[in-house]
Amino acid sequence: MTLALILNLAIAALLCGLLYWQQTLHATLSRRVFTALGLGVALGAGLQFVYGLSSPVLAATNTYLDILGTGYVKLLQMIIMPLIMVSIIGAILKLRDAGSLGKISALTISILMATTMLAALIGIAMAKLFGLSAVGLSATAAEVARGDYLQNTLGAAKAISLPSMLISFIPANPFLDMTGARKTSTIAVVLFSLFIGISATGIAAKQPEIFASFNRFIEVAHAIVMRMVTLVLRLTPYGVFALMAQVVASSSLADILNLINFVMASYSAIAIMFAIHLSLIAMAGLNPLRYAKKIFPVLVFAFTSRTSAGSIPMSVQIQTTRLGNSEGIANFAASFGASIGQNGCAGIYPAMLAFMIAPTVGIDPMTLNFILPLLAVIAIGSVGVAGVGGGATFAALIVLSTMDLPVALAGLLISIEPLIDMGRTALNVSGSITAGTLTSRIMGQTDMAIFNSDTELSADADLDNAAPRA
């Protein structure tokens, strides 16, 4: 370990100490996360400025920062399955109404799919406005290699179909899915939890003592799991700090400037879609500014970590303790939103790529003959991509191959892929929370006293005082 590396880690430790000091002062979770974001940007930029992008010292520093950043993400992934199971089963035991359960599922999925198609339209509009086109773009060796990889992956993408994906959601071995072994494990665990909850309510009248015992067991399990969630989420500022420092330290400014037009178009589309989410919240009779302030921490985490699935625990917690959504709806929205109808990865991104690449094969991307089939493919693909690793990449492959467009050209964007993916992931999570909030509002299950509360709680109090609700 070199002296430079030791100095870098000491500075990182000092900045983490500053975040801990904020915690001792009972600063709000939003303030601590925002501070962590700023400190991460400053550290990452400073490291790259001092050592240079290709420096071994910088690479070694990022390796140690990865322990904190990726370690935090893994802790969140650890609690996803237990959280989904106890929350959904508990909600069904309180609900005892299969009809309401069907309405909740249908509403949530419908909103996710509708907003994804709308996001695709926004992506097309921004691609047109910024004049994006793959015609004449040159490729470096890395981009050529990426294009070859995408071409070789095309077979796997073509093998994905809506029927096969829907079948993969069914948990043939639920205990295997609890380990997260399959890409569709999250949805499979949701379905398995639904079966358990519905089966338990079926014996409530015939065997009330057994039902009461099981209900008590779920209550105890829920309390323990939620405490575990609280302990993990207290580490959020530290995880955000490390993840952001890594991203900034390893990002090439030259590559970003070279494709700045695509970056600006992408983030313009993402910003417009965020505004649409807030407009939908306002149409539901909720204060959009208060809503945005309350969901800010989970959006920052999604932005820095680039993981929709890893955001599920924080999304559920914020929906229930800050937005007043019912716990069952919050879990449905967070779980489905991490797999189905992702506004950023399955909506904006493949639509913009298709628009850019179409002119290379002589297709006018502004005709209805191109746009209408594209929207239909994106809607179906937003389900088909559900359980596949590298969601945005496979969404693009599915759309491009179905539209008979050359997939290798997507490799031209490899250098700025991480930067764009940050915004896409935050939008995915925003879309799932929007779906949960609208569904909860429509079903009349929103606790307006919680939503309208302006009390700024500390991060610890905010999480510890979470009350489980159906």
Q: What is the pLDDT of residues 397-444, one digit of tens each?
A: 778 877 888 776 666 666 677 788 889 999 999 999 999 999 999 999
Neighbours of 464 (CB within 10 A): 15
Neighbours of 292 (CB within 10 A): 15
- What is the pLDDT at residue 392? 72
> Higher pLDDT residue, 136 or 21?
21
Residue 293 near residue 30 (C-beta atoms within 8 A): yes
What amino acid is encoded at 371 in this protein? Answer: I
> Higher pLDDT residue, 307 or 276?
276
Quickly state the pLDDT bin for 465 (edges 50, 70, 90): very low
Tokens of 393: 């990449």
Neighbours of 362 (CB within 10 A): 6
d(C-alpha 120, C-alpha 190), whole Å: 27
d(C-alpha 330, C-alpha 323), whole Å: 10
Residue 160 has pLDDT above 70, yes or no: no
Quickly state the pLDDT bin for 126 (edges 50, 70, 90): very high
Domain ranges of the chain: 3-464
- What is the pLDDT at residue 47? 92
The fold of the 3-464 domain, in CATH, is Proton glutamate symport protein (1.10.3860)
Tokens of 10: 């000491």
Quickly state the pLDDT bin for 361 (edges 50, 70, 90): confident
Q: Quote the DSSP letter at residue 206.
A: T
Tokens of 455: 């009390």
Continuous segment of H or E residues that includes residue 10: helix 3-24
Residue 17 has pLDDT above 90, yes or no: yes
> Higher pLDDT residue, 255 or 14?
14
- What is the pLDDT at residue 311? 87
Tokens of 187: 């949805």
What amino acid is encoded at 66 in this protein? Answer: D
Quickly state the pLDDT bin for 123 (edges 50, 70, 90): very high
Residue 143 has pLDDT above 50, yes or no: no
Q: What is the pLDDT of residues 444-462, one digit of tens each?
A: 989 999 999 875 544 444 4
Residue from 245, 266, 280 nearest 420 by CA = 266
224-227 long-range contacts, CB within 8 A, separation 24+ = 225/79, 225/82, 225/83, 225/86, 225/87, 226/83, 226/466, 226/468
Quickly state the pLDDT bin for 388 (edges 50, 70, 90): very low
Residue 134 C-alpha from the chain's centroid = 28
